[in-house]
Amino acid sequence: MAIPRDANDRVADAPLRRKPTINDVAQIAGVSFGTVSRVLNNAPDVSPATRERVLQIIKDIGYRRNRAATALVTSRSTSIGILSDGSPRFGPVGTLMALENVARKKGYATTVISVDKPYEDSVQAALDSLDDTGVGGIIVIAPLVDMAAAVWNATCRVPLEMIAAGASSTPNVFTYSENQELGARLATQHLIELGHTDIAHFAGSMDWFDGRVRKRGWEAALREAGLEPGLCIEGDWSPRWAYEAGLQLVRDGRIPQAVFAASDHTALGLIRAFAENGVRVPDDVSVVGFDDIEGSDFFLPPLTTVRQDFTALALMSTEVLIGAMEGREVDRTPIAPSLIVRNSAARTTSRSN
Amino acid sequence: MAIPRDANDRVADAPLRRKPTINDVAQIAGVSFGTVSRVLNNAPDVSPATRERVLQIIKDIGYRRNRAATALVTSRSTSIGILSDGSPRFGPVGTLMALENVARKKGYATTVISVDKPYEDSVQAALDSLDDTGVGGIIVIAPLVDMAAAVWNATCRVPLEMIAAGASSTPNVFTYSENQELGARLATQHLIELGHTDIAHFAGSMDWFDGRVRKRGWEAALREAGLEPGLCIEGDWSPRWAYEAGLQLVRDGRIPQAVFAASDHTALGLIRAFAENGVRVPDDVSVVGFDDIEGSDFFLPPLTTVRQDFTALALMSTEVLIGAMEGREVDRTPIAPSLIVRNSAARTTSRSN
DNA sequence: CTAGCGATCGTAAACGTTTACGGATTTGGG
DNA sequence: CCCAAATCCGTAAACGTTTACGATCGCTAG
């Protein structure tokens, strides 16, 4: 089992293949490892001259701290775990990439794990295995309410933060998110300002926080404007579903003045259903999407949509988590999405539906 | 600096907050830690009865190995590093997610790092910092040739594998990838079979392996069929660029019979340029894309495109890497993409361009 | 000249494992 | 009955750090 691979044939010249340790540095510098440790952690009690010399040697021989050893003795770590659902959907992936980015810039490594369907088991298992990789805190990207529930029920030694739109915090799980309800409001208000009064919603899945919250924003904006919420059809984010639902609308002759689609993909399917039946966007119907996926500016027509600021979200949420890890308290300001106006929504004309 | 947080107020009842160690298990089981270690690594020399009892206790008190300690003493690890460029593009992200997935299923944790523009420095730094998180091997997703070059020039103690389409292996860097050239051939051949002879290529960026290789496949397929390669315009993958290039084509009256677009996003922009000018796809021009991004089946028209099998790719490449980590040799069979036929390419009619 | 003090440094123990080795205890054969 | 072998298990050392503490040195003050 313990086959020595790459055994160094010669033994005389020490500084060959082995990774240099703190002791090697100390020996070369003619000091004790304690001193080296002090300069590493830039602790006091070491003379400038010595510090300088040790630093130089560290650079020369390419010494780098062994994280395992450090983690073992300090039991604190400089890495954070990210738990995500496996879906390659726009929101989660965007968040994930942004998270890695800012964590790295703050000097934290990230280890990511994704979980599958029966969340009750998989989430706890993932949290555990993240824990024993030695992360100091965990951010979970939980777009699905089932998944979030599993997180709430899970136990975890390290600080836990959840990114879930509109979900509430519990004593042991911070929750943080972009204000997607606001995004939905923005979209709907835009439609209202354009003069539409009959504004439908092609909703996302109600299994997703994002779906729930966007729907809520649509409703709220309408009510605020004194309008009755129009048709609301709940789907699964997919272009296919939206396409078929759109077809149905056309068949039934129930085409609204405007629709707020819960995602750009939804808008895509819907627009195709309209296009195939001679219903023109935005001339006959206005459509606004949500996400600003790549290429949405080149849909036919270019899509008016809502963009989230994943970087800001990631920035804030790692800030919060690292704060929790270090025992600090960080105040969290919500992140606001923005409306991107393009060509898929237009002023109402003198048509009826 | 060392503020004791969450200090346990009571001290009498031991098994409270501290994470159980191998010693705790041993004590409860009435054996020595050596025995526990043996059952953990299911080594021989422990009686079935004892093994059973220890296992039970481990489960009961929720003991879990401390990875830092293990890594420290064995200097081997059960985690792999993933280095990626920061781009949230379709290919890299798909690969990334798939990689995490299969690694996890093989019992490996993954820690990911992404790198930014001046690759000469950032790649080596990232490799190093991955190294001292204790990964046993590294997979780098290197779509950009600059980045790959940096990887080739970098030094790394642990096995290094690169996923880069059509790039060659070096002594210390395995290279592995999907056969995208084949994918491009498939797309082009499809167009040829449809009767087209004037087949242009809206290429991706030549800074990307993917761009290079897809172009090569297009050329090869054409030559094999005895056809002269048509117009080839190199771009940057973006819908915007394709849109503008498409507009130019229309202005110049140089619309080809068919075009193989290097990505679905490219196809998207191109199709819009056509659509805005009354050039119908596929009636006037056939278009096939590459990627099969989500929603491409709901473009106008639904896009004929090429799909890569990221899961298979991830499966093979982690297999290869883990093999290298364990000193095994794994033979690598190439992964083949597949053509997805939809509605954006049609049989040639009696039109001229 | 010496006590005492700062500044600088060395030392030992600990973190939780693995691994090589050696010590019991049992077993079976002569 | 005794000895050797087999079986099971305990022990010590090591991995590379950090941290608390103790040691040394040179000075200054009395």
B114's enclosing H/E stretch is strand B109-115
Q: Is the pLDDT of residue B8 over 50?
A: no
Is the distance between the Cβ of A152 and the closest atom of strand C smaller than 7 Å? no
* Position B98 confidence tier, pLDDT thresholds 50, 70, 90: confident
Q: What is the pLDDT of residues B114-168, one digit of tens each?
A: 888 889 889 998 898 888 777 889 999 999 999 999 999 998 888 899 999 988 8
- Those of residues 287-306 in B touching chain A at CB distance below 8 A are 293-295, 297-300
* Position B3 confidence tier, pLDDT thresholds 50, 70, 90: very low
Q: Kindly report the backbone phi and psi dihedral angles of residue A85, in degrees, each rounded to the nearest multiple of 5, phi listed first.
A: -80, 160
pLDDT score recorded for residue B34: 92
- Which of B125, B128, B109, B105 minimizes the C-alpha distance to B117? B125
* Position B14 confidence tier, pLDDT thresholds 50, 70, 90: very low
- What amino acid is encoded at B170 in this protein? T
Alpha helices in chain A (DSSP H): 22-29, 33-40, 48-61, 67-74, 90-105, 119-132, 145-153, 180-193, 209-224, 239-252, 264-276, 310-325
Nearest-CA distance A100 → chain B (Å): 7
Rounded Cα distance, A54 and A45, in Å: 14
Stronger pLDDT, A65 or B220, i.e. the higher one = B220
3-class DSSP state of A55: helix
Q: Does B94 touch chain A (CB under 8 A)?
A: yes
User: Does residue A258 contact residue A191 with C-beta atoms inside 8 Å?
Assistant: yes
What's the CA–C1' distance between B32 and D24, in Å?
42
Tell me the average pLDDT across B17-31.
88
Nearest-CA distance A227 → chain B (Å): 32
For tokens 């106008």, name the residue: B300
Q: Is the pLDDT of residue A12 over 60?
A: no
Tell me the average pLDDT across A142-169.
90
Stronger pLDDT, B135 or B261, i.e. the higher one = B261
* Position B2 confidence tier, pLDDT thresholds 50, 70, 90: very low
Nearest-CA distance B181 → chain A (Å): 24
Burial class (CB in 10 A: 0-12, 13-18, 19+), B104: buried
Q: Does A311 touch chain B (CB under 8 A)?
A: no
Is the distance between the Cβ of A38 and the closest atom of strand D smaller than 7 Å? yes
User: Does residue A44 have a cis peptide bond before it, meaning omega lies within 30 degrees of 0?
Assistant: no
Question: pTM here?
Answer: 0.81
Q: Is the pLDDT of residue B4 over 50?
A: no
Q: What is the pLDDT of residues B178-235, one digit of tens each?
A: 999 999 999 999 999 999 999 999 999 999 999 999 999 999 999 999 999 999 999 9
* Position B305 confidence tier, pLDDT thresholds 50, 70, 90: very high
What's the CA–C1' distance between B46 and C24, in Å?
14
Q: Is the pLDDT of residue A300 over 50?
A: yes
Cα B101 to chain centroid distance, Å, stands at 11
Quick one: what percent of chain B has pLDDT higher than 90?
59
pLDDT score recorded for residue B62: 86
pLDDT score recorded for residue A299: 87
Q: Across B7-16, B70-79, B261-270, which has the greatest mean pLDDT?
A: B261-270
Is the distance between the Cβ of A34 and the closest atom of strand C smaller than 7 Å? yes
The structural domains of chain B, with segments of one domain joined by +, span: 22-65, 77-177, 180-308
Min mean pLDDT across A218-227, A237-246, B321-330 is at B321-330
Tell me, which fold does domain A22-65 have in CATH? Answer: 434 Repressor (Amino-terminal Domain) (1.10.260)
Nearest-CA distance B141 → chain A (Å): 14
- Those of residues 114-133 in B touching chain A at CB distance below 8 A are 114, 128-133
A128:B64 CB<8 A? yes
pLDDT score recorded for residue A194: 96
- β-pair type (A160-163, A137-141): parallel
Quick one: what percent of chain B has pLDDT higher than 70?
94
Quick one: what percent of chain A has pLDDT higher than 90?
59
3-class DSSP state of A336: coil
Rounded Cα distance, A79 and A76, in Å: 9
DSSP string of A318-351, one letter each residue: HHHHHHHHTT-----PPB--EEE--SS-----S-
Nucleotide minimizing C1' to CA distance for residue B44: D8
The bases of strand C with some atom under 7 A from any protein CB are 7-12, 14-20
Q: Does A97 touch chain B (CB under 8 A)?
A: yes
Q: Which residues contact A117 (CB under 8 A, 6 or more apart)?
A: none
User: Does residue A99 contact residue A89 with C-beta atoms inside 8 Å?
Assistant: no
The strand pairing partners of B233, in sequence order, are B202
D7: residue with closest CA to C1': B45
- Those of residues 211-230 in B touching chain A at CB distance below 8 A are none
Q: What single DSSP character describes residue A132?
A: H
3-class DSSP state of B303: coil
* Position B51 confidence tier, pLDDT thresholds 50, 70, 90: very high
* Position A229 confidence tier, pLDDT thresholds 50, 70, 90: very high
Q: Across A67-76, A110-119, B69-78, B262-271, which has the greatest mean pLDDT?
A: B262-271
Tell me the average pLDDT across B169-181.
89
Is the distance between the Cβ of A73 and the closest atom of strand C smaller than 7 Å? yes
Mean pLDDT of all residues belonging to chain A: 88
Q: Is the pLDDT of residue A248 over 90?
A: yes
pLDDT score recorded for residue B247: 96
* Position A6 confidence tier, pLDDT thresholds 50, 70, 90: very low
A111:B112 CB<8 A? yes
Tell me if domain B77-177 and domain B180-308 are identical in fold.
yes
Q: Is the pLDDT of residue A201 over 80?
A: yes
Tell me the average pLDDT across A256-274.
95
Cα distances (angstroms) measured from residue B351 to each of A252, B231, B235: 39, 19, 28
* Position A17 confidence tier, pLDDT thresholds 50, 70, 90: low
Tell me the average pLDDT across A299-327.
90
* Position A1 confidence tier, pLDDT thresholds 50, 70, 90: very low
Tell me the average pLDDT across B248-253.
96
What's the CA–C1' distance between A33 and C10, in Å?
9
A93:B88 CB<8 A? yes
Q: What is the CATH number of domain A77-177?
A: 3.40.50.2300
Q: Which residues of chain B make contact with A94, given a CB cutoff of 8 A?
A: 88
* Position A148 confidence tier, pLDDT thresholds 50, 70, 90: very high
Q: Does domain A180-308 have CATH number 3.40.50.300?
A: no
B94:A72 CB<8 A? no
Q: Kindly report the backbone phi and psi dihedral angles of residue A284, in degrees, each rounded to the nearest multiple of 5, phi listed first.
A: -95, -35
B68:A71 CB<8 A? yes
Residues (214-243, chain B) with CB within 7 Å of strand D atoms? none
